[in-house]
Structure 1
Amino acid sequence: MSLTDKSPASLAPDTQGPSPGRIPSRVCLLIGQLGLGGAEKQLVLLARGLSARGIRTHLLVMFEKGAREEELRHSGVSLVELGFRRRTTGRWSLLADIRAFLRFVAFLRKERPQVLQAFLFHSYVMAAPAARLARVPVLLAGRRSLGFYKAGHRLALAVERIATRWTDFLVANASAIADEVRRDEGVPATKISVIPNGMRPEEFEVAEPAEVATSLPVVLCVANLAVHKGHRYLLEACATLRASGNPCTLVLIGDGPERPELRRTAERLDLDVRFLGSRTDVAGYLARADAVVLPSLSEGSSNAVAEAMAAGRPVVATAVGGNPELLEGRGILVPPADPAALAEGLQQVLTDRDTAAALGRGAREWAMANLTADVMVDRYIALYRQLLEGRSPV
């Protein structure tokens, strides 16, 4: 269901189900750190899934571990800190990073993984030379966001293009991202595939609703409080709802630099907005929400939208990035930066309970068929098999 005339990209992963070829016995995964972001969540799910299938799995972190370290306990995944410095300033920091890079190469030579997969920019620009020096048979790089944040950063773009040439294959988590990489970077279609995000089994379980003291409908938004997430348009949409006689309580989970300004705006518009900050107990708030909203101006493949779908909640989101791939026919899509359209979409699900329930059911059924962690891990293993065909045994 759409309130925009944009045509969504179809969700058609190139890698589905088992494929012939040898299954890797040793895989290394690389990321900057293990915070609470969506990429980190997917990396941990992949690592656990590979280990559960008997694949020796090392998860390497460049800078520091983080909150998701706990999720790897008793999983069989080996966690390795490489010791890179997040900010390289001065001779000693540079020397520390050189030592960390050499440590990385030495580890790869000792472990001899058949596959090295890097997540996010810092990781895959560092993985490309290290994999060459260590003669890793297959190097993959994950593309998990649109490239708007690199616009104007010529050095970053140049380094990324060199790394891409040294990389065997790219994996995007949304068709919109893969399309942008092919269009803007000239990467051939044969070098990039789409594997959607996955979710843990417990994310499909019915949770106990969280306590939100209000007599109004509850609208939930789970997103960092950053400009590109579009919260200012969401607040304007809520003001429009209130003016039309349909007020709501807006619950915001997430934190970021926009929080002070958004608080001032909420007070100026006389809105009931609950700023809950960053937290991990999202399931209870999903169960409590009458609607879930994502007003982003740009987006890759949203974990927040996927989690709302798994919980069976009706979702209103902007038709940007991978959102249409997730929600076309299963949610309400509106143009970005359009508070009137956002208000209209929210009013529809808040006042038409039958439509809201049907959207929630359809979203949950589709997520259960397409967005489980098992489906994601199986697709990655099938891709590893394909890429290892014809390579010399190691």
Structure 2
Amino acid sequence: MSGIPAQSPGPRPLHVLQLLGSGGAGTGDHVRSLAAGLVARGVKVTVCAPATAERHYRFADVGARFAELPAGSRTRAAWRAHTLAARADLVHAHGLRAGAVAALATRARPVPLVLTWHVRRDAYGPTAPLRDATEAMVARASSVVLGATTDLVDRARRRGARDARLAPVGLPGSRTPSADAPGSRSARRELGLGESPLLLATATLEPGQGHETLLSAAGHWRDRGAPPLLALVGDGPLRTDLERRVTREQLPVRLLGDRRDGRRLLAAADIAVSAGGWDGRGLAAQEALRVGVPLVAAGVGGMPRLVGDAAVLVPAAEPRALADAVTGLLADPDRRAALSAAGRSRAESWPTEDHTVAHVLSVYDEFA
């Protein structure tokens, strides 16, 4: 024997399974940021998501293990998540769909389930009861629900959540370019803008995102000299219908689809626009204010609390009010400059990534 005392092993690191769907509505950016911060603090992180999410967000690059979530079948997805959850200390689901998979996956072997509820998707008609039932199932199965806005916290409580809290979510600011980045000039050239103003809206092309309002507003400014071009970044089931309307009404609108260079386009914009009927954290709005791009947005959901006086808020679903706000800003460079400065200042008051990671870790400590 060497006489050297055996080294006692240190405590086993916490192992957390992060579960998400497509990564839309900012969940992909949030999970990547969260995974990086957790790994840096010694937490073992497995991210389970569709292969498309890994290709886009590259969770493995920040030290997380990636496991593919099968697409198409909730049963197959739940079984995959169940297998992974059996080796984890805690499951953290992001979004209602991922939460439903996690609730099914943790039934047989109870594992603490944290749900971050990022956005609200309302359902109408025959699908409304199913939506309500899914929300109730996920809320009741969760050890704690972290809501992105106060109304989501209230909604989780109404659905039967045992514990629901408002959660700070700081997204990566360093990945957002400055408004004077060289790439902004090339972006304008690619769009063939010349001296025409550029308006940018970023949202999935699905009901409830305000695209019909945006197109109606574009009809109001269509006949003015050098009308602004409204560029829509995002894709979804409404794309064909929106393209037909743009062509039929000859609107100064261009649908760009999903773009990896959305932040470069934002830096090139004169004004960012958000017309959604409900917006939780206003992810596109956050990016606009960080860059210093003046914002016109529907004053709904968490938007007023997010932006304060650093943006122009208009009533939802009122195209004329939106159009008047946009044209008024375009005619007032001093007001745009003031909003640009106010936006950057407001963004500095938001939670940082470190703040978000520390908060999440404190929640994990309660349950793991």
TM-score range, shorter chain: 0.7 to 0.9
2:122 to 127, 142, 148: 148
Residue 26 of structure 1 pairs with residue 15 of structure 2: yes
Match of 2:58 in 1: 71
SS at match of 1:140: strand
1:253 to 221, 233, 248: 233
Deviation, structure 1 residue 78: 0.5
Match of 2:26 in 1: 38
Q: Deviations over 1:77-100 (max 9, x none)?
A: 0111354x5147xxxxx6xx3xx6
Q: 1:254 to 1:158 in 2, by over 3 A?
A: closer
Q: TM-score, normalised by structure 2?
A: 0.84
SS at match of 2:192: coil
Deviation, structure 1 residue 187: 4.1
Equivalent positions of 1:212-227 (< 5 A) are 212-214=191-193, 215-227=195-207
Match of 2:5 in 1: none
The gaps in structure 1 that reach 5 residues or longer are 1-21, 89-93
Q: 1:200 to 1:79 in 2, by over 3 A?
A: farther
Q: 1:124 to 1:255 in 2, by over 3 A?
A: closer
Match of 1:13 in 2: none
CA contact (8 A) 2:25 2:283 kept: no
SS at match of 1:271: coil
Match of 1:265 in 2: 245
CA distance in 1, matches of 2:302, 2:244: 31
Match of 1:202 in 2: 175
CA distance in 2, matches of 1:321, 1:289: 24
Deviation, structure 1 residue 310: 1.3
Q: 1:102 to 1:295 in 2, by over 3 A?
A: closer
| Percent identity between the two aligned chains | 29
CA distance in 2, matches of 1:329, 1:258: 32
Deviation, structure 1 residue 56: 0.9
1:105 to 66, 70, 82: 82
Residue 58 of structure 1 pairs with residue 46 of structure 2: yes
CA contact (8 A) 1:36 1:68 kept: no
CA contact (8 A) 1:26 1:56 kept: yes
Match of 1:302 in 2: 282
Deviation, structure 1 residue 244: 5.6
CA distance in 1, matches of 2:36, 2:29: 11
2:255 to 275, 285, 296: 275
State the one-letter code of the partner of 1:140. Answer: V
Match of 1:160 in 2: 135
Q: 1:127 to 1:258 in 2, by over 3 A?
A: closer
Q: Deviations over 1:278-316 (max 9, x none)?
A: 111012211111100011123332221111111111110
CA distance in 2, matches of 1:225, 1:252: 9
Deviation, structure 1 residue 57: 0.8
CA distance in 2, matches of 1:292, 1:159: 34
Q: TM-score, normalised by structure 1?
A: 0.79
2:309 to 309, 329, 340: 329
Q: Deviations over 1:188-234 (max 9, x none)?
A: 6x532232351242215453302332221111111222232222222
Q: 1:280 to 1:368 in 2, by over 3 A?
A: farther
State the one-letter code of the partner of 1:107. Answer: L
Provide the aligned C-alpha RMSD in A.
2.8
